[in-house]
Chains A and B, each alone.
Chain A
Amino acid sequence: MNRRIKNTLITLAFPVLMFLIMEAVCLIAAGRHVIDFSTNLDLVNLVRNTGIACAITYALSFNLTSGRLDLSLGAQRLAGTVIGSNIALALGLSGVWLLLFSLTFGLVFGLVVGLVFVWARVPPMVLGIGMGLILESVVYVTSGGVGLNLFGVQGITILSEAYFTILVVAILLVVVLYLVAYTKFGYQMRAIQGSQRIAQNSGINIFRHAVLCYTFAGGLVGVAGILDAAYKTQMAVTSGNASSGPVVSNTFPMFLGIFLGRWSNQAVGILVATLTLRIFAMGLAKLQLSEAMSNVVNMFLYLAFLVYLANENYFKKRKAWADRLVEVQEKKSKLGIPVEA
């Protein structure tokens, strides 16, 4: 079979298999379908949730693949969406303008975090916690504690339409795919993922690259934020770094996406992984598990996946070690050296 077709089939098998498994479980346990095709409600929800999660996961992938966990991404999402959209609304703009303003302000806040990272050079996780607290505070002050309220605002329904979400995700997919796979930035990213020190010694400006990663990530979470806010018609201010919750939970699709990327590429892998896990989440909801219980199940699955990922070559390594021992023993006996028991 053509390798490309085989890889495509393997990639697509993940969401399809997940759907079939959850469909069977839901039918047996609850007598319900994962996706109720008699109305388009489930489908629209799936598309919207996948789109929002996918944008956040792309944002995470810019830094986390290089070992930088940015815990301020949630606060950047909040700041970009609330401040950007409030400014757009104050200028009398609506609809797609809100998306553009959120994107722009997300980029700005991402740039700020990136510049602070390069200046302070503190561990990324520590930076994320500090910047998260600061940005949440900034959002509180600038919005007077209200956050973003879109209730009754004309022209925002387009942002929560399924076709619009699909369009946005398609654009993000193309942009991220192009950036990661076909640009100098993407090559540099892979070099830094291999070894930051070697990348720096070979002439890559790792500081500029880190700032760019933070900036792109900020823009992406800005997009995710406004899509979410448009559907819920609001985005409330948070404190104590609570904004990082949705971001942390999307580390699972990111790791799964990178794993699936073996049969396609990182951008497609992340999209497919996000879709797969959203189907899983929908199945759990149809089983009438509470949000907390769904999270428990999801996190155990995540742990199991991480354990698998960390040990996937275990048996291969053991076999290689055993083969090597046999080889050594054969060599020894050939040379007449006594073989130890």
Chain B
Amino acid sequence: MTDVAIREPSSLRNKLLSVWENRWTTRLMPFVILLLIAFAFSLATGGRFLASRNLTIILNQALVVATVATGGTFIFATGNVNLAMGATTVLCETVSAMAFLAILDAGGSVELGLVVMFVISVILAVFIMGFSAILSTKLNVRVLYVTIVMMTLLAAIQQALLGGSTLTIPSKITRMLANNNVHYIIFGVFFAFAVVIFHFTKIGRTLRFIGTNEICAHQTGKFKKDYLLLAFVIGGLGMGLGAMVAIIRSGSVSITTLSSLNMDTMLAIVLGGMSVFGGSKSFVYAGVIGAVTVTALQNGMVMVGVDSNLIQGVRGLLFLLLVAAAQKRPHGLPAPEG
């Protein structure tokens, strides 16, 4: 009887489920969460949270995560998780900053240094992600294992390059770039590119198809190996550009720089309303809305006076709850692919 009652289309549970699983609920929920966070912290801080200065700070802080997460959605859409996004971004930041400082030391012009820095950052990130994808697609190592190794390997390379030192780009240069809104332009151009590719081309449709049903996609002639490489390369582009945005924002690089970037990016993608399993419900703005939500949450809790170590516990809890809520609960345990 209970089973029949559950299957009854008009039962309250099924009505609630159909509302919850409605595509508009999925798309609007991240915005509702962001508004709720803004409302709650505005009340708790007596309106200081919504002051224009604080909102600008949140926006600037969110920009690095938003850029990396926008690229990351291409990888997530295929149902794969990349643990090396943060390490890749930071290594690109380190190498490109070293190149820039070397050019300045050699008497080169600032313009030349900036161009070289930009090119190195993007090429290195695309190379690292391409290499990771090739390890997986051509040499058959599982994506999960590749990203575990790459995460540790890239962090070790960065540590070997930097040791205990801190690289600092002269503040007048970063100020000049920031005053000319270069970081906003980088993000804006990349976001527009990502939206077009993800939502209006065959590439985006295929990536979502692969995430929805890999076997079906394969049997339709959409081969995961080719498209996974593309997803990683576009993801790499986001990481390289994210490194540039980070340099403009902070101007210095050390081994502790952006240490929580990977976690923040994953949290942003999930908070932005995207499933960790990827698929048809993936959308490219998830990374952006999620990045703003993550930063607003962090900023609000700091303003309320919550200890930073407690904030991470709250973020962990929120992360798990949202992932659990956003997915259809499987009858068995989640697939063994991790």
Question: Residues on A close to B: CB < 8 A?
Answer: 66-69, 116-118, 120-127, 129-134, 136-138, 140-141, 145, 196-197, 200, 206-207, 210, 237, 239-242, 245, 248-249, 251, 290-293, 295-296, 299-300, 302-303, 306-307, 309-311
The stretch among B15-23, B144-152, B231-239 that forms the contact with chain A is: B144-152
Closest B-chain residue to A134, C-beta based?
A: B316
Q: Flag if B263 contacts A241 (CB, 8 Å).
A: yes
Which single residue of chain A is at the shortest CB-CB distance from B330? A121
Partner of A68, one of B141, B266, B313, B338: B338
* Residue ID in chain A nearest B157 by CB atoms: A296
Q: How far is the CA of A296 from the CA of B309 in the complex (A)?
A: 30
B276 at the interface (CB under 8 A from A): yes
Given contacts A240-B263, A307-B139, 15 further A-B contacts (CB under 8 A): A121-B329, A121-B333, A123-B334, A125-B81, A134-B316, A137-B313, A239-B309, A239-B312, A240-B260, A248-B152, A290-B160, A292-B157, A296-B153, A303-B141, A306-B141
Q: Contact between A129 and B316 (Cβ–Cβ < 8 Å)?
A: yes
- Are A133 and B336 also in contact (CB < 8 A) when A116-B320, A296-B156 are? no
In the complex, chain A residues whose CB is within 8 Å of the CB of B277: 123
**A126–B334 CA distance with the chains assembled, in angstroms:** 11
B222 to chain A, nearest CB (A): 23
Interface presence of B127 (CB below 8 A): no
Separation of A145 and B323 alpha carbons in the complex (Å): 29
Query: B156, A292: Cβ atoms under 8 Å?
Result: yes
- For B309, the chain A residues whose CB sits under 8 A away are 136-137, 140-141, 145, 237, 239
Chain B, residue nearest A251 (CB): B148
Inside 8 A of A291's CB, which chain B residues have their CB?
A: 159
Interface pair B160/A133, CB less than 8 Å apart: no
Q: Are A133 and B263 in contact (CB under 8 A)?
A: yes
**B-chain residues with CB within 8 Å of residue A207 when the two chains form the complex:** 333
Asked if residues B153 and A122 are in contact (CB atoms below 8 Å), the reply is: no
Task: Decide: A303 and B333 in contact? CB cutoff 8 A.
Answer: no
Give B residues with C-beta under 8 Å from A: 81, 83, 135, 139-142, 144-146, 148-149, 151-153, 155-157, 159-160, 163, 259-260, 263, 266, 270, 276-277, 307-310, 312-317, 319-320, 323-324, 327, 329-330, 332-338
DSSP class of B's interface residues: helix, strand, loop or mixed? helix
Once bound together, how far apart are the Cα atoms of A126 and B263, in whole Å? 10
State whether A196 and B263 are in contact (beta carbons under 8 Å apart), knowing that A126-B323, A133-B313 are contacts in the complex. no
The secondary-structure label for the interface of chain A is helix
Pairs across A and B, CB under 8 Å, 25 listed: A67-B338, A121-B324, A121-B327, A121-B329, A122-B320, A122-B324, A123-B323, A123-B335, A124-B334, A126-B319, A127-B320, A129-B263, A131-B320, A136-B312, A141-B310, A141-B313, A196-B335, A245-B152, A293-B156, A295-B155, A306-B145, A309-B141, A310-B142, A311-B139, A311-B140
A120 in contact with B324 (CB, 8 Å): yes
Indicate the member of B277, B313, B314, B323 with the most A CB atoms within 10 Å: B313
A129 vs B85: C-alpha distance when bound (angstroms): 15
Residue of B nearest to A306 (CB): B141
User: Of the candidates A116, A117, A197, A299, which one forms a contact with B149 in the assembled complex, judged by CB atoms under 8 Å apart?
Assistant: A299
Contact B338 A125 (CB under 8 A): yes
Contact partner of B338 (CB less than 8 A), chosen from A118, A123, A248, A306, is A123
User: Which residue of A has the minimal Cβ distance to B145?
Assistant: A306
In the A-B complex, list the 4 residue pairs whose CB atoms are closest, starting with the nearest: A137-B313, A67-B336, A133-B316, A295-B156
- Which residues in B have their C-beta under 8 angstroms from that of A66? 336
Greatest chain A CB density within 10 A among B160, B263, B307, B309 is at B309
Which A residues lie within 8 Å of B310 (CB)? Answer: 137, 140-141
Residues from chain A with a CB closer than 8 A to the CB of B263 are 129, 133, 240-241
A137: chain B residues at CB < 8 Å are 309-310, 312-314, 316
Tell me if A121 and B316 are in contact (CB < 8 A).
Answer: no
Q: CB-CB < 8 A to A210: which residues of B? A: 333
Q: How far is the CA of A297 from the CA of B335 in the complex (A)?
A: 32
